[in-house]
Amino acid sequence: MPTPRGKVEIAQDQCKGCAVCVDACPPKVLKLTTVLNVQGYHPVQYLGDGCTGCGICFYACPEPGAITVYKWQDEESKKQKAA
């Protein structure tokens, strides 16, 4: 299995389901769910695969804490960077 480049976490109860991130996401790995969250909206979910960690969804999303973006960094490149 190839190493994932990134991943995105969406706080389900903070998402208001505006779906702006769904449109903004370049690799199209976000989708609206059909479940209701505590606020009464359909939150967006990460499909679980294909995120590049570009962070674009973060700037499209109007909620401060709804989206957290992670980028994969292996130990070696981290060491190289530090050096």
Binding site for other proteins (CB under 8 A): 6-7, 11, 13-14, 16-20, 23-24, 26, 36, 38-41, 53, 55-56, 58-75
Answer yes or no: are the C-beta atoms of 17 and 42 closer than 8 Å.
Answer: yes
Closer residue to other proteins (CB): 1 or 74: 74
Q: What is the gyration radius of the CA atoms in the chain, in angstroms?
A: 14
CB of 59 to other proteins, least distance (A): 5
List the one residue out of 41, 44, 16, 14 whose CA is nearest residue 28: 44
**Shortest Cβ distance from residue 53 to other proteins (Å)?**
6
